[in-house]
């Protein structure tokens, strides 16, 4: 979990360096395509075509991840990586609010209170009084919302197999199918939206140095997300949750070293509030799950 969380900001940094010359949609397409290619040797002998409930969940999961990645890669072109990532970490709060509707889970007042406190931190980061920053903040907020759906469908997918029975789908198989379906979805979106001439869907054949960065984005995505998903095989979410916030530290260091971006005091305070509220939610959920399983 720690290594995966430290790797992913390097993917974001590589994507940010491409932003002025390659459209966000092209970077996302490459991210999914190369991730799929890198994983083929590892899934070849166990590969199967998902059907029924599992196939539907794979598609929903890929849609959520595709939109989340596109919005986030677009956001880091107009704001520092650490700021975008800090806003993105409202995601655990969104999952908590949506869980009763999507997963049928019960959410108590303690977690609702933690969500409210976390949103205060988000407001500090977004700075609504700064009009331009506030508009840009919609991008990582939308990314967090889409990623929340991705996570909830991942939870559902972990409980079914291709026959719709209660059997978990292997993490590497989830990653392979999210990459393959995401590649198809992004390719269709890019081709279909060409007549609109939207900058984020601009189609331009990359140069050699750009291909190198795009391959790097896909490689880091494949390794980083495999490390994260496999970590949950060996430890509870409440144990692993604090490690994912290492992303913020690495993102801040990369932003300073590569782009001369330094977080403001309000961003740091807001991020700390978000981190602690998110960690409380994870621990509270784990405590409730343990009580349910003990009965």
> Has residue 123 been placed in a domain?
yes
Q: How far apart are CA 106 and CA 124, in angstroms?
A: 29
Percent of the chain with pLDDT over 90: 42
> Has residue 295 been placed in a domain?
no
| Nearest Cα to Cα of residue 148 among 89, 108, 235, 189 | 89
pLDDT tens string 24-81: 999 999 999 999 999 999 899 888 888 888 899 999 999 999 999 999 999 999 888 9
Look at residue 166 and tell me whether its pLDDT is greater than 80.
no
Is the CB of residue 91 less than 8 Å from the CB of residue 71?
no
> Has residue 231 been placed in a domain?
yes
- For helices 171-192 and 24-43, angle between their N-to-C axes, nearest 10 degrees: 150
Mean pLDDT of 154-163: 64
Look at residue 282 and tell me whether its pLDDT is greater than 60.
yes
Confidence tier at 256 by pLDDT (50, 70, 90): very high
Residue count of the chain, please give it.
Answer: 295
Q: How far apart are CA 68 and CA 72, in angstroms?
A: 6
CA dihedral 115, 117, 121, 126 (to 10 degrees): 60
pLDDT tens string 1-32: 899 999 999 999 999 999 778 999 999 999 99
Look at residue 163 and tell me whether its pLDDT is greater than 50.
no
Confidence tier at 162 by pLDDT (50, 70, 90): very low
> Has residue 24 been placed in a domain?
yes
For residue 88 the two structure tokens come to: 């993105």
Look at residue 283 and tell me whether its pLDDT is greater than 90.
no
Instruction: Please give the pLDDT value at position 115.
Output: 84
> Has residue 90 been placed in a domain?
yes
| Nearest Cα to Cα of residue 156 among 39, 283, 55 | 55
| Nearest Cα to Cα of residue 172 among 44, 20, 26, 34 | 44
pLDDT tens string 95-140: 888 777 766 767 777 888 888 888 888 888 876 655 555 678 889 9
For residue 155 the two structure tokens come to: 């939870």
pLDDT tens string 193-220: 999 989 899 988 899 999 999 999 999 9
Instruction: Please give the pLDDT value at position 24.
Output: 94
Instruction: Please give the pLDDT value at position 221.
Output: 92
Give the chain's domain count: 1
Q: What is the residue range of 103's domain?
A: 2-288
> Has residue 282 been placed in a domain?
yes
Mean pLDDT of 163-183: 79
- For helices 237-244 and 2-18, angle between their N-to-C axes, nearest 10 degrees: 40
Other beta carbons less than 10 A from residue 48's beta carbon = 10
| Nearest Cα to Cα of residue 79 among 130, 16, 26, 22 | 16
Look at residue 149 and tell me whether its pLDDT is greater than 50.
yes
Instruction: Please give the pLDDT value at position 240.
Output: 75
Look at residue 285 and tell me whether its pLDDT is greater than 90.
no
> Has residue 13 been placed in a domain?
yes
Residue 209, SS3 per DSSP: helix
> Has residue 22 been placed in a domain?
yes
178 sits in which H/E element: helix 171-192
Q: How far apart are CA 138 and CA 143, in angstroms?
A: 8
């Amino acid at each position: 979990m720690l290594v995966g969380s430290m790797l992913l900001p390097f993917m974001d940094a590589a994507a940010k360096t491409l932003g002025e010359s390659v459209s966000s949609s092209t970077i996302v397409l490459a991210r999914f395509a190369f991730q799929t290619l890198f994983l083929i040797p590892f899934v070849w002998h166990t590969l199967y075509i998902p059907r029924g409930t599992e196939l539907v969940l794979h598609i929903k999961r890929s849609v959520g991840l595709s939109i989340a990645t596109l919005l986030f890669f677009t956001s880091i072109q107009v704001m520092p990586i650490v700021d975008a990532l800090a806003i993105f970490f409202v995601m655990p709060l969104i999952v908590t609010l949506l869980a009763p509707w999507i997963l049928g889970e019960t959410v108590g007042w303690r977690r609702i209170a933690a969500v409210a406190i976390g949103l205060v931190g988000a407001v500090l980061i977004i700075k609504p009084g700064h009009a331009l920053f506030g508009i840009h903040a919609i991008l990582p907020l939308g990314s967090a919302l889409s990623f929340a759906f991705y996570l909830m469908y991942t939870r559902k997918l972990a409980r079914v197999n291709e026959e719709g029975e209660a059997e978990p789908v292997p993490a590497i198989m989830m990653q392979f199918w999210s990459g393959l379906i995401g590649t198809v979805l992004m390719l269709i979106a890019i081709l279909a939206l060409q007549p609109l001439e939207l900058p984020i869907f601009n189609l331009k054949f990359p140069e050699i140095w750009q291909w190198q960065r795009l391959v790097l984005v896909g490689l880091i995505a494949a390794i980083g997300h495999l490390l994260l998903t496999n970590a949950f095989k060996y430890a509870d979410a409440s144990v692993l949750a604090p490690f994912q916030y290492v992303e913020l530290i690495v993102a801040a260091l990369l932003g300073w070293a590569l782009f001369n971006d330094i977080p403001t005091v309000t961003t740091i305070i807001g991020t700390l509030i978000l981190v602690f509220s998110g960690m409380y939610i994870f621990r509270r959920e784990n405590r409730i799950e343990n009580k349910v399983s003990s009965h």
